[in-house]
Each structure stands twice: as C-alpha cells, then as structure tokens.
Structure 1
Amino acid sequence: MAHLLGAEQLRVEYPTRVVLDGVTVGIGDGDRIGVVGRNGDGKSTLLRILAGKQEPDGGRVTRRRGVTLGMLDQGDDLATGRTVLDTVVGGRPEHEWAGDRNVRDVLAGLIADIPGDTLVDDLSGGQRRRVALAALLSQEWDIVVLDEPTNHLDIGGVAWLAGHLKRRWATGQGALLVVTHDRWFLDEVSLDTWEVHDRIVEPFEGGYAAYVLQRMERDRQAATMESKRQNLMKKELAWLRRGAPARTAKPKFRIEAANALIADVPELRNPIELAQMATSRLGKDVIDLLDVSVAYGDREILHDIEWRIAPGERTGVLGVNGAGKSTLLKLIDGSLAPTTGRVKRGKTVVVATLDQQLGDLSAVEHERVSAVIATKRTSYVAGDKELTPGQLLERLGFTSAQLSTPIKDLSGGQKRRLQLLLILLDEPNVLIMDEPTNDMDTDMLAAIEDLLDSWPGTLIVVSHDRYLLERVTDQQFAVLPGSDGVGRLRHLPGGVDEYLRFAAASAGSVSDAGRATVASVTSAGGASGASSSGGGGSTAAAPPALKVGGAERRTAEKELASIERRIAKLQGEIDRLHVALAEHDTSDYSGAGALHERVRGLEEQRDALETRWLELGELLG
C-alpha cells in the first residue's frame, strides 16, 4: 500500500489546554478512516492540520509528491457572486463536465433540486453546504477529507453519499478521512477508525461496530473507565451485536473477553414493562389523527392521514425535507389544527418537544445551569434507579464546573442535552424529538439513547440519523408525496431500507437522474425540488400497492415460506461460523480469512433473500 500522507509528533496547544501531543499517523492508498471522539477533543483540528489548513505547534506533516487532497471543512467558504453550476464544475466547458459520469452522479445526488443559475449568495445554509460538498466531490482527488459531511443531508442523501464514496475509487486506491456523528454512515464507509481522546489518536480496525467492540476490550483490560461508562458501552455493544451493524465482518483480534462482557446484558428495553408504565401514565387513548388533511391556502400539504398513536409507542418518522414532517408534528403537539378531519387526544396527554431552535432556553440564557435545574424536580427515576438532576447532568456529559456556567456560554451540543434534561424533569408522557442528533458526538448520542431506553412514555422521533432511528424506535413511518405531490403517511414494515427502496423507485436509475439533472442545471430557472433546504436524497413517493390473487398469490406465498426457511438455515450457519471464528487460533490468518469469506458469502445470500422477502410481503399486501 503506497504511502500518501503522514504526520509525526504533532502537538497543538491552546491557551487553556493541550489538544494533541505526540500524535503520529499515516494515510495510504486504500485507507477509509472514520474519526470519532468527544466534542472538543481535537477531531476537526487534526483534519485541518493533515489537510494543510492549520499549522501545528510542534511536529510536521509530510505528503508524497504529486498527491492531491480535497477537504470539506465545517466553515462556509463559497466564493460570492458565482452561480451554483459555476461553483460546482469550476468553469469547465459543458461538453467536458456533462460527459463526466462522476459529475453527473454528484449533481443528481446532491443538488438536483437547486437550479444551476442560482447565485450561491441566495442559498440557504443547508443548500450552501450541499453545493460545497458537490464542488469537492465533482473533482478528482487522491485523498478526500470530510468534516461532518452528513449535516443537512436527509436519509436518502446520506445513503447516496455512502454509496458514492464506496464506488469513487477502485479497491486499494485513493483515501478517505471522515469525521461524522452518523454512526451508520461510519460503518458503511470506514475500514478503520481513529479515536481522538486524551491528546492522542488511537487506531482501531474496522468501522464503528468493530470500534465499539475493541474499545470495550481495551477498557476491560486497562480498567481505566468508571463503571458507569462501562455499563453504557456494554449496552451499546449489545445493540450493535444484535442489530444490523453486526452483519459487518468482525475485526482480527480476540473477542472472547468482549463477548463475555455482554453475555448477561438484558435487552435494551423491556417493551412489556414500558408499555404497562406508559398505559398507567397515559391511559389507553393517546393521540389519534382521524382522516386528517392540512392545506395552506390552495396548497394541500397532508392528505387523509389516519394514525392512532398508542401508549409507549416508539416511532421514527422519515421523509425528505418539505414532505410535511413538521406539519405532522404540529398536529400531534396541538400547535396546528387540521383543515379537515379531527385530532382526538387523551385527557392525561402531556406533550413536550425537543426542537431544533432551542427556544425553551432563550428565556433563561443568562442564568447558570445549576439555578435553572434547581427550579425543577429534585429526583428522576431512570429504569429502577432514582437519580438527582446533578447525576443526570453528569450522565449527559456535564462536569461539576459547568454547573456554574451561564446557559448562553454552553456549546450547541450542551444546550441540546440540557434542553432534553429539562423536558424529562417536567415528566411529559409524549415526547417529540426533532433532529436530536445536531451538535452531538457519538458518546453523547449513546448516553441519550441509554436514558431514553428507560423512559416510559410515547416517543416520536424525526431524524436523518439512521442509526438513532433504528436504535431508539421500534417502528417507522414515512411521509411520502403521492403522484399529486401531497404528503401521505405510510407504515414501513421494512424500516429504513423499505423507505430507501421507495425513494429509489421514485427517482429512477442513477443515469436517468443524472441526465435530468444535467438538463435542469443548464436551463435558466429550472424547477426546484420539494424543499429549498432539504438533503440530497430524492423525493420519495409510495409506489402503488400491488395485490395478486389466485394461482399467482399461492405461488408467491409458497416462495415466501420457502425464503423464510432458507433465511433461518443461513442464519444458523452464520451463527455457527461466528462461534468458530471466536474459537479460532488468532495466529492462523489464512484459516481465519477463509472463515471470514464464508461468512461474508452467506451474509450476502441472506441479505438478498431478505430483500426478496420484503418484495413478496409488499406484493401480497
């Protein structure tokens, strides 16, 4: 593997603390590296130094001659007075960029809804971010460095970006270095993980799931982490092992000790117990949307929505920006009345919303954290434990010194965590979370997920963070525009994967989308998409339900039953091979490699069968 970029003995020191000290890292051809760590520990600083945008206080960075590097920073550095198209293609002749498959793919995936002749000065913050990402990815680079690239992308846009980065270079060529809080995205694109912590950069083999497993093994051996954090990581690891990310290949190191850590870890949530607690707090009736439609003037946003929300229900809501998700939330919290239909509420329902604006904190921004907390309850029950507000603050990453900090001086992530705590201390029984992952690092997201596991109310989450949705919710719905462009609510038995299939079916093939985008950006005043600030995903529309009968239905039912048997058989074989891998001699690399290949082949067969199973389920209704 050819060396591309390296750093030796990096040191970065600010007036109050040292961020990096003695850091030595290297990047070579074929590397795909995800960078994780707590906010403020130096992830973005490391990326800027490696990219040559910041000089270290000590050490040096070396780059192989001729190596090109492109970076997406968190700052907004688009040149003013230029059009979107000119910013992305950089003045290249139309015949040149229009014939470039990579450029067409980027235009279709990120900015299909933005007319090419629009001035970047007139764009929203989310649109500017997507244009900057498109401008970077439309060029050829040996190394691509991305700092929070999933910001302002919806779930479809994140899935597109992951696919683009995976196919951007041939195997063993190019290098990717990415910082993101999106754990699903990390697992999709990363082959290795760097954790920035305590002034150092510690490497791990594999994506986020493998990193959590290795980190637990490290913490167990070193015994340096307090028991509270170990229990949290055990829970996170149990989720990863049981959920979709566990399908990824296991790293090449001893995992017996780590497996022993989670042998007796219970399920993340006890749904029966939580449902009983929720029913006792809410009663049987929560919120029912009955034949609800919403229109603003002549424009209908939602049509004929029927949704009966049950006690203790944990639901994720998907949809592109502009599809009507915010309108749906307003119907639920009572801030908007339907145009037609009615909203029925239980008598004991108390709704609280964790929104993106942090409006609840504006009235007390000059007060100290401790003073605001003192006005709330003196205790909070999480699971079977009674915690004080101070213990909850510590659980959410606050230090003792921060208790005396004015709220206006807190970071964005700290304000969101404080807002969540204040909401929970008010004890609502219906909690709406609108994009709760903003400004959060992976450790804090895990802490919030752990806190929500023991919360007994009804939870509704709107997020573009796929990992969070699959982690804290038990079912998903989507707001999908129909053929008339009006939003309708659809249940997704197949979860996020089913939603992405709807989006792909609506958008058509990549090549068709690319041709449509080329036509739109070259025409003056091309039509905008569903949202002016939405993510790069395509507008999702629900295909018409397919119903079959007679002999065709019996054939489909037989195939469905056969697939279920084959999936169970394959899963049993995969589980057997995982046991064999855990017991395998770690010095026998060729034998371990052969076992990994067998597992990977069986998992691919299983995934294909699961996809067909979902298709048949949709066909049979």
Structure 2
Amino acid sequence: MAHLLGAEGLTLTFGTRTILDGLTIGIDAGDRIGIVGRNGDGKSTLMRLLAGRAQADDGRVTWRGGVDVGFLDQSDVLDGDDSIRRAVVGEMADYEWASSPMLRDVADGLLGGLDWDQPVGALSGGQRRRVALAKLLMGEHDVLMLDEPTNHLDVEGVAWLADHLKKRWKADEGAFLVVTHDRWFLDEICTTTWEVHDATVDTYEGGYAAYTLARAERDRAAAVEEQKRQQLVKKELAWLRRGAPARTSKPKFRVDAATALINDVPEPRDTVSLRRMATARLGKDVLDLEHVTLRLRGEGDEPAVADGRTLFDDVTFRLGPGERVGVVGVNGAGKSTLLRLLDGQVTPDDGRIKRGRTVQTAILSQEVEELRKKAHMRVHEVMTEEKNVFVVGGKELSGAQLLEQIGFNRKRQWTPVSDLSGGERRRLQLLKLMTGEPNVLMLDEPTNDLDTDTLASMEDLLDDWPGTLVVVSHDRYLLERVTDHQVALLGDGSVRLLPGGVEQYLRIRSGREAAPGEAARTYRGQTSAEAGATASGRGSAAAPAGSGESASSAAPSDSASAGGAEAADGASAAEKRQARKQMQRVEKQMEKLSSRQRRLHEEMATASEAGDVDRLRTLQAELDDVDAQLGELEETWLEAGELAE
C-alpha cells in the first residue's frame, strides 16, 4: 500500500519529562488506526506532530507529495458569529455540495434538524461538535486525524460517525488516526491500535478488544519475567540472612546486587483506585420531580432550543435510594438540564421538586468549570484547600496520598492546574467531588477526556458506590456497566423508559421502532415505601416495573408503584449484577486452569517420549485434579449465567 506520511526519530521533552524518545512510525493508505494510552502520555501530542500542528525537539515528519491531512482538534475552533452554513460549506452554493452523495450523507447525518442560518454561537456543545465534524468531513482529505471526535456527541451521532468512516474510502485508500476513549467506537472502526506509553508507541493488530487481549498477553509475559526476578531476590535475601558477611569484596558485591534487585520494583501503572468514600446515609425520600414543566429562556446548558420552547412537559421523575439510571437523548433535549433540575440549580415553571432531608447531591459537569477558576493553583493546593485529611475505606489519608492513588506522583502534585491535560483535570475533578461525600451522584458525560485504563477503574469505583447514581453519557460500555436501566429524552418534553436499553434507543431514532407511548412519559424509580426497606446501607438498585411495560402504568400519585420490584424472572438487578461479576471471576479462574491443563498435556507428551512412567503417573494425577476443578467451575458459571439472563 502507498505510504502517506511518517515520522523518523521524533523526540519531544516538556521540562524534565520526555514525551517521545526517538520514535519512528508511518501511516500507509488503508490504515485505520486507533490511538490509546494513559492521559498525559502524549496521544494528542503525537497526532499534532504528525499533522504538522506542533514541532518536535528532534527528528522529522514527512508527507508524501500532494497528501492532504484533515485535523479535528479537541478544542472548539469555530467562529461563533458564523452561521452553520458558512462554517461548514463557506461560500459554496447548495447545488454544489448537494450534488455529492457523500456530502449529502454528512449533512443529513450530522446537521439534520438544524437551521443552517442559525449562528454557531447559539448551539449546544454537542451541536457545535457536529458542525466541526461536518466541516472536516466535507473536505476531500487523504488522511483524517480525529482527536476525541466522540466528545459531546450523543449515542446516535457516534453510531453515524463510525458508519461513515467505514464507508468513506475503499479498503486500500485513505487513512485515519483517532484518539478516543470510546471503546465501542475503537472496536467498530479500527484495524490497528497504537498504544502510547513510556515515550514510545507499541503497535497491535485489531481494535480495542484485540489490543486488550494482546496487552494482557504482554503483561503475562512480563509477570513471568518478574516472577523470575523475585525468585532471584529471594535467593539473594536468603544468602544475606545466613549471617554477617565476611569483610571481603565478594560479600560487598553480593549485598549491592541484592539491594539493586530489591529496588528495581516497577512503578504501578497510572490507574484510579479511589476505593469507596464514606457516604452519608440516604433516607426513604431521595429526589422526585412531580409534574414538572420547564420552558427555556435562552439560558443554561441547552441554548440550541428556541426561547420559549417547552423542554419538560408535566414530567414526573422519581429516584430511590441506591437507584442507578442512565440517561440518553438527542442533543438539546435537556439531559444536562435534567441533572440541574435534580440538583436544584434550575427552578421549574410548574410542578415541584421534592428532596429528601438527608440528600447531598454532587454533579460532575462537562466543562470542568470548577477547575477553570482554579487554573492558577497547584494540584495539591486544590486538593487540600478545604481539609488536609480524608477518610477512605476506613483509613485516614493525606491529600498527597490520595492524589498518588489516582496517578499524581509527588512531582505532578505541584503542577499548576492550567498545565494539566484534559484527562488529568477530569480525574482531579472527580476526586474533589467524591471527597465531598455526596450520596446522590450525577455525572454529565463523565468519560470525556479519560483514557481507557482510567475508565475501567472509574467503572469499578462506580460499580461499588452505594448511593443513588444518574449518568448522562454516550458511552455504551459505561452505561451498561454501572447503571441498571436507561431512560431517553427524545425532545418531545417527556422522559421515557427504555426496557431495551441503548439498542432500543437507536432503533427508535432510526425509525425501526416506534417510541414508547404517551403512557410511558413518567419515569418512576423506588417509591418512598419501597425505599424504606433498603434505606439502611446500600439499597437494592430498583428496576422499573415489569421491564416490558410502560414506566407509568399507575397514576403518578399511586404509592404502590412497582419501580423497586424484582425483574420478571425473580432476580433483582443487583443480583444479576453480582451474577455477572461472579461469571467474570469464574472465567478468569477457568482461563488459568485451562492454561495449566495445556501445560500438563505438553509435559505428558514429553514424558511419554522419554518413557518416564513415574512422571506420567504424577502428571496424570495432577491433570485429573485440574479437570475436576474445571468441571466444578463450569457448573458455577452456568448457574450464574442463568441468574444473569
């Protein structure tokens, strides 16, 4: 395939930190590359260097003659005074771009429903992102470089973008690089994965799933080497314990060698391990929106909707203790405003917001506004401005210790907030939020700017978090992992239950399925009576009544709502989640036993060739034991699988 562009000997240093060290890499026609890695390791920097948007300290980037590179930056570079039409197609007449099927597809897929004469400055964050993408994709580029293209896009927009990129070129034409945290998106479009780490880039074939498997194998090999090193350490330590060494150069050498081995323990990867924060007790009543109506006045997070339009129309939305709800919806439908209503930041025009006396809410906003006001402060100062000691998992930790647990080493803790990457700001914001000990947590697009490792760790944290959780996100992995059920805002003033989850939402938006009827406009979680049974400790995550029925088959005032009832098969959502966890644990155990089983077969083959009968008997006994353990684990897995369905 034709070579398009490449880098040779790239070296880049920020202060005392080396981001890239002598990197040589290339992009050929047909390449579909996803870039992953920890926040701050240089993913966006590498892309900017390859795009010619930044200069390295050493090395060079070369493009083949005539190659056109299109670049989508994370930051918004649109002129707010321009109309959508001018921002996307400039002075091009409608008949010029409309004559191209590809350009029509871009316009329909990203700009459908928008008034092209509307100023860009009046758009929501998600709509501005669509306009920026449309502007880029309407160009005839040989290489596309997309830095977090899914940020602020809704689920429908992410699905459309993936389909467009797959169809944009023939298999051996064009190329793209994409930096994204969206694991579904990576799996859907990428055939190659670059992992940026430790000032270098490792290349893997396949998308995110293949990369994860390959990295696991790499880590396994590293673990074997580490085990060998540990054995050598033990031998050296055993030698040291035999008594005081003689005063010769040889014992001194042995002492130095042992010390070097002991000190050579690798640093842990930059992951989030916040553990479970001390959480204030939730009472029977949490948050209820009762017959709420809200009309826009050109303020707030939904500026794309015309003034005076009804954003919520007679909506009843009830949350119980321990409930976990995911929110999806079209841009401008009011997802962020819904969170602000629940938080009390917005007052409805009609209806009321009922708030439990023990409720303490916290919102992780999209824009990291809280940290923008503290850009001049250092990370440690931000963390300790209110208190110096935090209770985590029953232990008292200092601010510095807590920061180290989410990847800020001692040097990084004294970095100004203004110098942090987007993902690092997000981590710091989340930590500040959790140390406030809320019991109702609302997350507005929490996955923006986070790397995949941090996302997995954040999901572990949220999976064990005992309070009420409301998540607005386009990340399917996150929603399916940490929430028990989802609701949709379709732009018609209602909140509708989605028994079929995100897939049902996409079917509705594509016209393959009708939206739930008007009877489903009211969302009901646990009622106060049901909440009382779970108010102590972590309440069972409520599943809406009879998953296949409308969310409001009873009147809004009916205290007999079945929102907290168990699923139709008798298992609650919490029990199903525990069953899925058990399946994952059993699968890991089965993988280990299967590996041991294969090794035993190999050893038996070797012993058979050597005619070692005694060795064969020993190996056969071990193999019988492994087979028995595997049989028991398979039974456990099947039982858990039946419960999880």
The TM tier, using the shorter chain, reads 0.5 to 0.7
Partner of 2:23: 23
Give the drift of 1:447: 3.1
Partner of 2:33: 33
Partner of 1:289: 289
SS at match of 2:494: strand
Which residue of the other structure, out of 441, 447, 451, is the alignment partner of 2:457?
A: 447
- Give, in whole Å, the separation in 2 of the partners of 1:17 and 1:292: 53
- Give, in whole Å, the separation in 2 of the partners of 1:13 and 1:227: 21
Go from structure 1 to structure 2 and tell me whether the alpha carbon gap of 1:59 and 1:338 turns closer, same or farther (over 3 Å shift): closer
- Give, in whole Å, the separation in 1 of the partners of 2:420 and 2:64: 41
Partner of 2:338: 328
- Give, in whole Å, the separation in 1 of the partners of 2:117 and 2:74: 25
Pairs within 5 Å for 1:383-398: 389-398=399-408
Partner of 2:614: none
SS at match of 1:437: coil
2:272 and 2:405 in contact (8 A); partners too: no
SS at match of 1:481: coil
The answer to whether 1:165 aligns with 2:165 is yes
- Give, in whole Å, the separation in 2 of the partners of 1:46 and 1:94: 37
2:144 and 2:176 in contact (8 A); partners too: yes
- Give, in whole Å, the separation in 2 of the partners of 1:201 and 1:386: 39
The answer to whether 1:211 aligns with 2:221 is no
SS at match of 2:511: helix
Residues 289-341 of structure 1 show CA distances to partners (whole Å, capped at 9, x for unaligned) of 33333345864321232333122112111112321223322332233344444
- Whichever of the two has the greater Rg, that structure is 2
Equivalent residue letter for 1:489: V
Give the drift of 1:74: 3.7
- Give, in whole Å, the separation in 1 of the partners of 2:362 and 2:315: 22
SS at match of 1:488: coil
Partner of 1:500: 506
Give the drift of 1:386: 7.2
- Give, in whole Å, the separation in 1 of the partners of 2:44 and 2:22: 17
Could you tell which deviates more after superposition, 427-436 or 86-95?
86-95
Give the drift of 1:405: 4.2
Go from structure 1 to structure 2 and tell me whether the alpha carbon gap of 1:433 and 1:83 turns closer, same or farther (over 3 Å shift): closer
Go from structure 1 to structure 2 and tell me whether the alpha carbon gap of 1:305 and 1:228 turns closer, same or farther (over 3 Å shift): farther
The answer to whether 1:463 aligns with 2:469 is no
- Give, in whole Å, the separation in 2 of the partners of 1:171 and 1:41: 31
Partner of 1:403: 413
Go from structure 1 to structure 2 and tell me whether the alpha carbon gap of 1:227 and 1:385 turns closer, same or farther (over 3 Å shift): farther
Could you tell which deviates more after superposition, 71-80 or 100-109?
71-80
Residues 396-443 of structure 1 show CA distances to partners (whole Å, capped at 9, x for unaligned) of 221212334455654544333223222222211111112223333333
Give the drift of 1:55: 4.3
Give the drift of 1:100: 0.8
Equivalent residue letter for 1:353: I
The answer to whether 1:481 aligns with 2:491 is yes
1:377 and 1:425 in contact (8 A); partners too: no
- Give, in whole Å, the separation in 1 of the partners of 2:421 and 2:201: 23
The answer to whether 1:303 aligns with 2:313 is yes
- Give, in whole Å, the separation in 2 of the partners of 1:376 and 1:361: 17
- Give, in whole Å, the separation in 2 of the partners of 1:359 and 1:489: 27
- Give, in whole Å, the separation in 2 of the partners of 1:67 and 1:371: 47
Go from structure 1 to structure 2 and tell me whether the alpha carbon gap of 1:141 and 1:336 turns closer, same or farther (over 3 Å shift): closer
Partner of 1:10: 10
RMSD across aligned C-alpha pairs, in angstroms?
4.0
SS at match of 1:146: strand
Residues 163-193 of structure 1 show CA distances to partners (whole Å, capped at 9, x for unaligned) of 1111112333322211122222222211111
Which residue of the other structure, out of 387, 391, 396, is the alignment partner of 1:380?
A: 391
Partner of 2:108: 108
- Give, in whole Å, the separation in 1 of the partners of 2:35 and 2:489: 33
1:7 and 1:25 in contact (8 A); partners too: yes
Go from structure 1 to structure 2 and tell me whether the alpha carbon gap of 1:541 and 1:364 turns closer, same or farther (over 3 Å shift): same
SS at match of 2:411: helix
- Give, in whole Å, the separation in 1 of the partners of 2:186 and 2:192: 9
SS at match of 2:61: strand
Equivalent residue letter for 2:494: R
Partner of 1:418: 428
SS at match of 2:470: strand
Give the drift of 1:102: 0.5
SS at match of 2:26: strand
Residues 499-529 of structure 1 show CA distances to partners (whole Å, capped at 9, x for unaligned) of 12222229x9xxxxxxxxxxxxxxxxxxxxx
The answer to whether 1:354 aligns with 2:364 is yes
- Give, in whole Å, the separation in 1 of the partners of 2:144 and 2:9: 23
Could you tell which deviates more after superposition, 223-232 or 313-322?
223-232
TM-score by length of 1: 0.67
Could you tell which deviates more after superposition, 452-461 or 413-422?
413-422
Bigger relative contact order (CA 8 A; separation at least 6): 1
TM-score by length of 2: 0.64
Go from structure 1 to structure 2 and tell me whether the alpha carbon gap of 1:292 and 1:140 turns closer, same or farther (over 3 Å shift): same
1:412 and 1:439 in contact (8 A); partners too: yes
Residues 239-287 of structure 1 show CA distances to partners (whole Å, capped at 9, x for unaligned) of xxxxxxxxxxxxxxxxxxxxxxxxxxxxx99xxxx9xx98x92133322
Which structure 1 residue ranges, 5 or more long, are not aligned?
Answer: 234-267, 509-539, 547-552, 554-560, 562-574, 586-621
SS at match of 1:282: coil
SS at match of 1:315: strand
Give the drift of 1:392: 3.0
